[in-house]
């Protein structure tokens, strides 16, 4: 079905229709792309016991937490209905005579969409009924970082990523889909997403970090992304200077990815970097890794590496087990889906999975912003607090309609 009219209005109406009928929905745009995609499941969100099959199997959108639990399940939005802003086509990825239980629902969806498609109201969203939680005070986060540094000095681990939250009030006329549009215009090189799932809630983000990707040419990709400094009028990627702390932090992530590749005995990969890249109002160090899956005997490389990499050392630490234990013992809040992973799986023959960074969770009248910083022995606690502030401001600007 080809839909006429402005694609942003169409996406807003499709999103509103999914919310009205209590259905899971995801909207996203890949980095450096202009195509907005949407998928809706006509059933409750599926929960998977393992990571999704990147190279085949179910088509849809994966949304996984930092740690899977009954409270934070590994969610998968099956792509029963999809839409692309480039083609303006709404696709039903099933045959109604094969799914008789969908006939009445699809008719109700079409009737409601037809009624609102030219003038949809401000988009509502699915809510998580869990308490909002409290924002961390500067002194609390500084104390946490000092604990991390002390543990490193005691050789419990080499690095730990410590995060915090900040709550902000949103205006009564806040529109999630319009905020998504501002995000994708403001951050053209990030992965932009808006996910809304009954019971789980609604999340929005602009992630700079690929976890794994497999394109239609069977090229596998992953990146090491670490080190952070503000992007200012005086600094840019060509003249950025990096401290030893950030260089070592990036090297730890690189070694972690290479160790995962070696653990499956794969050495035929290309490594490019590190180089300085811009992500919103920040700069990072980035190293790219690619593998031609047609030339190596690993047909499930993307799936295998996703299982090995998550959670990456860029959101957890090194060694992973010790750093994770420290996080669970000392952060004193539930990360939920922050620093988990998300992205389209087998949509148009491609899978693109990103780390859920630069994100916020939407509640009824407030949002919860999330950010973390990589802590090493050379870390300065007050600077780590400022780094999390800079990262949260990526999303805060969107709330305040700032560029």
**Position 4 pLDDT exceeds 70:** no
Res 2: pLDDT: 61
Q: What is the dihedral of CA 117, 123, 126, 130, to 10 degrees?
A: 180
Binned at pLDDT 50, 70 and 90, residue 57 comes out as confident
3-state secondary structure of 23: coil
Strands 366-375 and 270-279, how do they pair? unpaired
> In angstroms, rounded to a whole number, what is the distance separating the alpha carbons of residues 360 and 110?
31
Strands 219-230 and 282-292, how do they pair? antiparallel
Q: Identify whether 326 is part of a domain.
A: yes
Within its chain, how far is the Cα of 296 from the centroid?
Answer: 29
Q: Which two tokens stand for residue 118?
A: 């030219």
> In angstroms, rounded to a whole number, what is the distance separating the alpha carbons of residues 95 and 352?
27
pLDDT tens, 357-380?
Answer: 999 999 999 999 999 999 999 999
**Position 257 pLDDT exceeds 70:** yes
Res 297: pLDDT: 83
Res 355: pLDDT: 97
What is the average pLDDT across 156-160? 95
Q: Identify whether 310 is part of a domain.
A: yes
Q: Identify whether 189 is part of a domain.
A: no
Strands 25-29 and 191-197, how do they pair? antiparallel
**Position 216 pLDDT exceeds 80:** yes
**Position 65 pLDDT exceeds 90:** yes
Q: Identify whether 80 is part of a domain.
A: no
> In angstroms, rounded to a whole number, what is the distance separating the alpha carbons of residues 225 and 379?
18
Q: What is the DSSP letter of 100?
A: G
Nearest Cα neighbor of 342 from 26, 14, 15, 18 is 26
Q: Facing residues of 222 across strands? A: 289
What is the average pLDDT across 80-94? 92
Res 330: pLDDT: 96
**Position 150 pLDDT exceeds 90:** yes
CA atoms within 13 A on the CB side of 279: 29
> In angstroms, rounded to a whole number, what is the distance separating the alpha carbons of residues 293 and 301?
8
Residue 283's alpha-carbon distances to 210, 229, 254, in angstroms, are: 16, 5, 17
Res 149: pLDDT: 97
> In angstroms, rounded to a whole number, what is the distance separating the alpha carbons of residues 26 and 354?
14
Query: Would you say 360 and 368 are in contact if contact means Cβ atoms under 8 Å apart?
Result: yes
pLDDT tens, 96-113?
Answer: 777 888 889 999 999 999
Residue of higher predicted confidence among 136 and 258? 258
Q: Identify whether 199 is part of a domain.
A: no
Q: Identify whether 336 is part of a domain.
A: yes
Domain of 372 in residue numbering reads as: 138-172+216-340+363-399
Query: Would you say 213 and 220 are in contact if contact means Cβ atoms under 8 Å apart?
Result: yes
> In angstroms, rounded to a whole number, what is the distance separating the alpha carbons of residues 141 and 49?
34
CATH label of the domain that carries residue 388: 3.60.120.10
Nearest Cα neighbor of 216 from 293, 132, 114 is 293
Res 323: pLDDT: 95
**Position 272 pLDDT exceeds 90:** yes
Residue of higher predicted confidence among 261 and 135? 261
Q: How many domains, in total, are found in the chain?
A: 1
Res 136: pLDDT: 84
Angle between helices 176-186 and 381-399 (to 10 degrees): 120
Q: Which two tokens stand for residue 125?
A: 């969203």
Res 56: pLDDT: 85
Q: Identify whether 79 is part of a domain.
A: no
**Position 192 pLDDT exceeds 80:** yes
The total number of residues written for the chain in this structure: 403
Mean pLDDT of all residues belonging to the chain? 92
CA atoms within 13 A on the CB side of 319: 4
Binned at pLDDT 50, 70 and 90, residue 292 comes out as very high
Q: Identify whether 393 is part of a domain.
A: yes
> In angstroms, rounded to a whole number, what is the distance separating the alpha carbons of residues 123 and 173?
9
What is the average pLDDT across 129-143? 86
């Amino acid at each position: 079905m080809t839909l006429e009219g402005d694609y942003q209005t169409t996406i807003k109406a499709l999103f509103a229709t999914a919310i009205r009928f209590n259905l899971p929905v995801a909207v996203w745009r890949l980095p450096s792309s202009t195509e907005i995609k949407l998928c809706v499941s006509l059933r409750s969100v599926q929960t998977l016991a393992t990571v999704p099959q990147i190279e085949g199997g179910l088509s849809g959108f994966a949304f996984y937490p930092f740690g899977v639990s009954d409270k934070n399940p590994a969610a998968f939005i099956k792509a029963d209905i999809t839409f692309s802003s480039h083609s303006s086509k709404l696709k039903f990825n099933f045959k109604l005579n094969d799914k008789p239980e969908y006939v009445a629902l699809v008719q109700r969806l079409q009737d409601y969409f037809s009624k609102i498609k030219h003038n949809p109201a401000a988009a509502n969203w699915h809510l998580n009924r869990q308490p909002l939680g409290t924002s961390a005070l500067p002194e609390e986060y500084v104390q946490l970082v000092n604990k991390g540094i002390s543990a490193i000095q005691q050789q419990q681990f080499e690095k730990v990523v410590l995060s915090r939250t900040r709550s902000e009030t949103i205006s009564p006329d806040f529109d999630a889909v319009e905020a998504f549009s501002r995000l994708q215009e403001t951050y053209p090189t990030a992965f932009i997403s808006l996910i809304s799932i009954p019971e789980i809630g609604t999340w929005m983000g602009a992630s700079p970090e690929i976890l794994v990707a497999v394109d239609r040419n069977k090229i596998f990709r992953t990146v090491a992304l670490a080190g952070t400094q503000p992007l200012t009028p005086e600094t840019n990627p060509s003249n950025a200077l990096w401290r030893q702390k950030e260089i070592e932090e990036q090297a730890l992530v690189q070694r972690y990815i290479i160790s995962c590749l070696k653990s499956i005995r794969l050495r035929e990969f290309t490594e490019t970097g590190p180089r300085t890249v811009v992500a919103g109002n920040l700069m990072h160090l980035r190293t790219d890794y690619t593998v031609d899956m047609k030339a190596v005997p690993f047909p499930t490389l993307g799936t295998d590496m996703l299982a090995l990499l998550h959670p990456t050392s860029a959101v957890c630490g090194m060694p992973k087990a010790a750093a994770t234990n420290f996080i669970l013992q000392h952060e004193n809040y539930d990360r939920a889906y922050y620093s988990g992973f998300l992205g389209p799986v087998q949509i148009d023959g491609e899978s693109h999975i990103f780390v859920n960074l630069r994100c916020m969770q939407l509640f009824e009248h407030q949002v919860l912003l999330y950010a973390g910083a990589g802590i090493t022995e050379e870390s300065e606690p007050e600077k780590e607090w400022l780094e999390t502030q800079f990262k949260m401001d990526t999303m805060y600007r969107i709330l305040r309609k700032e560029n």
